[in-house]
Structure formats: structure tokens, C-alpha cells
Amino acid sequence: MKAVVTGGTGFIGSHIVDLLHQSEYEVAVIDIQPPGAYWEVPAGVMVEKMDVATPECEEFIASYHPDVVFHLAARASVTDSIHNPHEDARTTIDGMLRVLEGARKGKTKKVVFSSTAAVYGNPSVAIPISESTTADPISPYGASKLAAEYYLRVYRDLYQVDYSILRYANVYGPRQGISGEGGVIAIFSKAAIEGRTLRLFGDGGHTRDYIYVRDVARANLLAAEKTGSFVLNISTGSETSNRELIEYIQEVAGHTLEVSQEAERPGDIRRSALAPGSALYGIGFRADTAIRAGLEETYRWMKDWVAHV
């Protein structure tokens, strides 16, 4: 099987590439950034430094003839999308069209798309949020991801390119940078390792549904190998508060951490979790890394990385 991974040198993409390589896929990566020093690209994986929203990307996919494209390239940040909505839309919407045109011409069977909980906005429904909840984004990032989801549906109907839309909760784990969506575990871990004060916005009661990156990579493979087109949350369904995260990091670090409590950030959703049941039913996926275990691995990786740079 041949696969293209856009955004494949990034945090989640690099874990998908590792898993594809272990599963004996032939893999090509498209990314605007070269691989970071924290990741050794597996032997035989081709890395093309390319902007996803360009004709070169479309042509590359068309001529490579992948069976599946894992499409992750994005400016993965809500805040960035508010400051640079044009760039966000160019990367996510034009990028999706380049991927889809390449897939159509290259006779690709499926596109697996990394979407986000941000498409739901801030719905007034019970938590955890299911896939049947009306999408109602409140940021340019959520809006462009939702638009890209619609293009997938259109290309399935017009050209029979199947899709798997995966709406991730907050992904964490080794290789995550300290900016971007859901980076709080990386930010807290790095501050704890460097002996800095942790900045806590609000009373510590804000919750998120944290899912470990290797579980997300596994979900991508399962979604690619399942026939048909579908939309699934990729999540645990459980909420962890910032206060709990700090307690866990203290346990892993083995010492008390200094925390400065600051004003709540405007627009910060109080609670967030996505219902995981459809992924279990649809592709047999269940996230099986407990937050405490995943956090320990992330902390250990961050400690090695901080010592290395």
C-alpha cells in the first residue's frame, strides 16, 4: 500500500508516518517544514518540502498514485487563525482542494482528514459531544476545517474518492511543540522541567478530553483500512481538569510545582469532551492510553529533549 502524509513532519503526522512504516506502507511526506531534530525519519520514507496549497502538491499526489492520503497539513492554531484568517483558509481550504484534485487524478481510494473538535464551536448540548451535534464553529480555524470537510463530501459524490473525517479532541504526547491547539501538557511539562512557574489561567476547573498521540495514529490507520466514508470523533470521552494535570505532573516530576493563577482567558470554553462511541462501533478504535501513563511518557520525552537542546 502507498500513502502520502501531508503535514507529515509535524507532531501527529510524524507518529502516523512511524506507524505506517512499521505496517509496511510505502510512504511519502509533504510538508513545508523539514523534519525536526527530535524525529528520525524512518528509512525509505520520502520527504518532499512543499506547500500543500500549490499546484506542485496536486501534481505530486497525482503522479505518486497513493492508495490513501492522510491529510494533516494545517496552521494548527485557533489563535493564529484569528490573527491570520487568510493564511489559515489558504492552507486548509486551498490545501484540501489540491489534495482532492491530486487524489482524483491519481486514482486514490481514500483521504483521511485530521479535523477538530473546533468544528462544534461551543454547543449547548450535554458533554460529551457526539458527531450528530450541529457543527457551529466560532473561530476561522473551525470554519475552514468544516469547509474542508464539505469538499470531501462533494468529491466523494462527484468522483467516488472516499473520506474518513476524524475530529480529534486535544492530542498530546512526545514531539508536541509548546504552541498550538492542546499544547498545555507540553507547556506545563517544559515549565516543570526548567523549574519555571506554571501559568494557570482561571481556577483550574477548565477541562479537556486529552488523547495520546499514538492512539490517534492508530485511529488513522484503522480509518484508512475501513471501506466507505464516515465522520468520527477521535477522543476518550473523559475530562481532565487543569488542576488534575498539574497534580499528575507534580507526581511525575517528584516535586511541588509553583503555580501562578491568572485571569481566565476570554472565550476559553469551560468544559470539553467528545463522545468516543462511534469510533469504537465504526472502526473498532478505543483510546487505550490512560492520561497518567501518557503524561509520564510525554514528560520523560520532554526531559530528554530539553537536555538535548
Ligand X SMILES: NC(=O)c1ccc[n+]([C@@H]2O[C@H](COP(=O)([O-])OP(=O)(O)OC[C@H]3O[C@@H](n4cnc5c(N)ncnc54)[C@H](O)[C@@H]3O)[C@@H](O)[C@H]2O)c1
Q: Which residues are part of the catalytic machinery?
A: 141
156 vs 153: CA distance, rounded Å = 5
For cell 457543527, the residue is 135
Span interacting with ligand X, options 127-135, 164-172, 223-231, 236-244, rule CB under 6 A: 164-172
Nearest alpha-carbon partner for 241 in 171, 160, 185, 178? 185
CA distance 248 to 242: 10
Verify binding: residue 294, ligand X, rule CB under 6 A: no
Q: Does 39 bind ligand X (CB under 6 A)?
A: no
Q: Is residue 13 at the binding interface for ligand X, with CB under 6 A as the rule?
A: yes
Choose the binding region for ligand X from 177-185, 189-197, 223-231, 235-243 (rule: CB under 6 A). Answer: 177-185
* Per CB under 6 A, 76 contacts ligand X: yes
For residues 222 and 214, give the distance between their C-alpha atoms in angstroms, rounded to a whole number. 13
Can you tell me which of 7, 137, 237, 294 binds ligand X, judged by CB under 6 A? Answer: 7
Q: Which residues ranging from 77 to 96 are in contact with ligand X (CB under 6 A)? A: 91
Among 45, 53, 283, 295, binds ligand X (CB under 6 A): 53
What b/e readout covers 248-259, taking b as 16+ CB neighbours within 10 angstroms? bbbebbeeebeb
Binding residues for ligand X, how many (CB under 6 A)? 26
Closest CB to ligand X among residues 162, 181? 181
Is 75 an interacting residue with respect to ligand X (CB under 6 A)?
A: yes
Q: How far apart are CA 85 and CA 101, in angstroms?
A: 23
Cα separation, 156 vs 229, whole angstroms: 8
Q: Of these, 32, 61, 129, 224, which contacts ligand X (CB under 6 A)?
A: 32
Residue number of the CB atom closest to ligand X: 10
Say whether residue 33 binds ligand X (CB under 6 A). yes
Which of 52, 89, 223, 232 touches ligand X by CB under 6 A? Answer: 52
Distance in Å, CB of 247 to ligand X, minimum: 21
Count CA within 13 A, CB hemisphere, residue 244: 13
Q: Which of 18, 88, 181, 215 binds ligand X (CB under 6 A)?
A: 181
Strands 68-71 and 46-49: unpaired
144's enclosing H/E stretch is: helix 140-159
Output phi, psi for 96, to 5 deg.
-60, -40
Q: How far is the CB of 162 from ligand X (least distance, A)?
A: 19
Residue with grid cell 501513563, as numbered in its chain: 293
Q: Work out whether 218 is an interface residue with ligand X (CB under 6 A).
A: no
Q: Among 168, 139, 143, 178, which residue's Cα sits nearest to residue 266? A: 139
Q: Which residues bind ligand X (CB under 6 A)?
A: 7, 9-13, 31-33, 51-53, 72-76, 91, 114, 116, 168, 170-171, 180-182
